[in-house]
Amino acid sequence: MSLSRFKLGFKQNLMLVVVLTVVGFAALIFLSISSLNSQSRAAERVDTLGRWVIDLSSLRSEVSTVSRLSGKAAEAALPEFQATQDRILGGLSAQGMRGAEELDATLDTWLVSQSAVIKDAQAIGNNNAEGQRKVVADRQAEFLETLFSFMRKPFQKMQDSIAALIEQRSPESFDAFRAAKSELRQTLVELDFVDTFDAPLEEIATEVEALISLIQHQNQEAVSAEAQLKQFNQQVDQRFEQVLAQLEQARNDADSASKTARTTILIAGIGVAAAVLLLLMLTLKRSTTALNTTVTSLEKVAAGDLELRLPVSEGRQDEFDRLGVAVNHLNEQLGSVLNSVKESSSQLQHMSTELSDTLKTQIAESEQTESETGSVAAAAEEISQTVAEMANASEETNRLSGEAEAATEKGGAVITGALGSLEQISALFARIHDELNRLNEASSRVDGVTDMINGLAEQTNLLALNAAIEAARAGEAGRGFSVVADEVRSLAEKTVSATSSINDINNNMQGQMNQILRAMEDGQHQVNESRSQGGEAIHEMEQIRSLFGEVSDRNQQQAASIEQIAATAQSIAHSMNAVLDNVSRGSERTREIGGFSTEVVSHADNLQTMTSRFRC
């Protein structure tokens, strides 16, 4: 299986991994919460059953305590026990415990019997000063006061039977009392005192029978209460067995739910981890392949191969495809710029050669102008030397004036030719200056392209940073993304290194062209100065011609103007020397321009060599 068939981008793959991880963790959390809820319900069930056991034990303890009480303490404890019974059994019934109503009914019956026992005990009395026992004791005391002393022994036997009856409260003790009473009556009959003591004796017997009736009723209620208490204990034992069985089942259910939850969470966790790991491996494989292809392409670009193009997927257009498009566009732009640089270098080389040839011609003409200017200066010196002879030979002066005028015309023509050559040099310098400016502009476009490369490198570095952040968030699962981030960062560094090399070459070219421009500007400045001085020389030659015309017109005044002519000739000599100096300096500057032209040719060759490294 491959992610490429789905045409998912690198970012989409990462988002798929993140979404799958989040969904997996959500499923694990849901399973964990479900497991915790199951365990919580089981724990609540165990807790409820435990409280049932505690409540039943507490109720049994209360019943046992109340059943052992007697007298007023028992009477006072019954209402409290009734409230405890209602609270405990009502709560158990509300919590769903089966048999709670049965326990409540049994305890109600036991309470009725226990209340009757307590009431009978109160009616009987706890001692001879309370209840029916007091009545019986009072009747015995009254009877004993009227009884003769010889009769007290039989009566004492009846008293002992009454005391035994109260103490034992058994049918035998009841029969023993009746036998003692019959024996005492028989004694009274035998002594013939039956009429006297029979009524008091019957009163005692009646009260004792009433006491016996109370005791018998109490015994019946006590037996009933004991039976109800036994039944209650049996029911409690049954509830205990049921609750303990339910408690054991709840514990088993809790353990089973816990084991099931652990198994489910473990299987789900392994599944999620395997799916995430598989996606990460596929994403890492694809991104590594794309990065290796891009790095190989950029290495070839750095080696000078600009014809290489990275493969780009038209349907996916992810980050690596956009990077490939940018690299391909970069190669196209660099190829275009380098082709322009090559053409400009070739033109510069050709123009530099023409400039060198023109400068050689200009140098030869400048040397010729210098020679002729020297001749003019020598002629002016000769004029100055022969001025003294002009006073004696005006005809010779006219002839010499004609020759001088012809010489000045020739010198003016030579200077005019030199100025024309300087005009051509100036125009040539202007053309070279324009071509160098265009070459400098082409070099500036290279700077723009390298800036674009640096921008791409920054975007690549930002992509690496984002990948590193996502890797850090993913923890151990994002370790593969750290490798991707490192490779992307290495790609950005190699890109910056390649653009730095191009910048160095371009900066070197710009520096050399700036030097050529400055040299051309200096040469043009010198040519302009030579033109200005040549104009001054022509102006001086025009003045000389005018002066020689005046000499011809005023041949008659030569004698009077010899001194003025001598001064003028001397001035001409000085002017020609100045012209000679200017022409010499113009020749020297022309030679310097020739040297600069040679350097331009050399730089053009270097530029041609550097650009030939690249295949466009």
Rounded CA-CA distance 305/218 in Å is: 122
- Contact 39/258 with Cβ under 8 angstroms? yes
Rounded CA-CA distance 119/112 in Å is: 10
pLDDT in tens, 441-486: 766 665 675 677 677 667 767 776 776 676 677 666 666 656 666 7
Classify residue 196 as exposed, middle or buried by CB count within 10 Å of its CB (0-12, 13-18, 19+). middle
* Bridge partner list, 615: 305
Strand, coil or helix: 305: strand
pLDDT score of 450: 65
Rounded CA-CA distance 166/131 in Å is: 12
Give the residue-averaged pLDDT of 524-552: 67
Tell me, what amino acid is at 483? V
- Contact 423/531 with Cβ under 8 angstroms? yes
Residue 209: band (very low, low, confident or very high) from pLDDT cuts 50, 70, 90: very high
- Contact 528/586 with Cβ under 8 angstroms? no
pLDDT in tens, 74-118: 777 888 888 888 888 888 888 878 878 888 888 888 888 888 888
Give the residue-averaged pLDDT of 510-521: 71
- Report the residue count for the chain: 616
Give the residue-averaged pLDDT of 503-516: 71
- Contact 91/274 with Cβ under 8 angstroms? no
HSE-CB of 592 using CA atoms within 13 angstroms: 17
pLDDT(390) > 60: no
Rounded CA-CA distance 388/51 in Å is: 156
pLDDT in tens, 276-328: 788 778 777 777 876 777 777 777 777 766 666 667 666 555 666 676 677 77
Asked which of 125-129, 298-302, 385-389, 599-603 is least confident by mean pLDDT, the reply is 385-389
Six-digit token string for 607: 């530029």
Residue 15: band (very low, low, confident or very high) from pLDDT cuts 50, 70, 90: confident
pLDDT score of 315: 56
Six-digit token string for 420: 């024309």
pLDDT score of 585: 76
Rounded CA-CA distance 483/21 in Å is: 20
Residue 3: band (very low, low, confident or very high) from pLDDT cuts 50, 70, 90: very low
Residue with the bigger pLDDT between 239 and 512: it is 239
Residue 411: band (very low, low, confident or very high) from pLDDT cuts 50, 70, 90: low
The fraction of the chain above a pLDDT of 90, given in percent, is 1
| Residue 5 DSSP class | G
Q: Is the dihedral of CA 59, 64, 65, 67 positive or negative?
A: positive
Supply the mean pLDDT for the chain: 74
Cβ atoms within 10 A of the Cβ of 557, count?
13
pLDDT score of 55: 82
Tell me phi and psi for residue 103, to 5 degrees. -60, -40
pLDDT score of 1: 46
Rounded CA-CA distance 321/299 in Å is: 18
pLDDT in tens, 332-377: 777 776 677 667 667 666 666 766 666 677 666 666 666 666 665 5
DSSP labels, 47-89? HHHHHHHHHHHHHHHHHHHHHH--HHHHHHHHHHHHHHHHHHH
pLDDT(422) > 70: no
- Contact 607/436 with Cβ under 8 angstroms? no
Rg (CA), the chain: 70
pTM recorded for the entire structure: 0.37
Residue 498 CA from chain centroid, whole number: 31
pLDDT score of 2: 47
pLDDT(158) > 80: yes
pLDDT score of 443: 61
Rounded CA-CA distance 37/182 in Å is: 81
Asked which of 12-16, 69-73, 143-147, 261-265 is least confident by mean pLDDT, the reply is 12-16
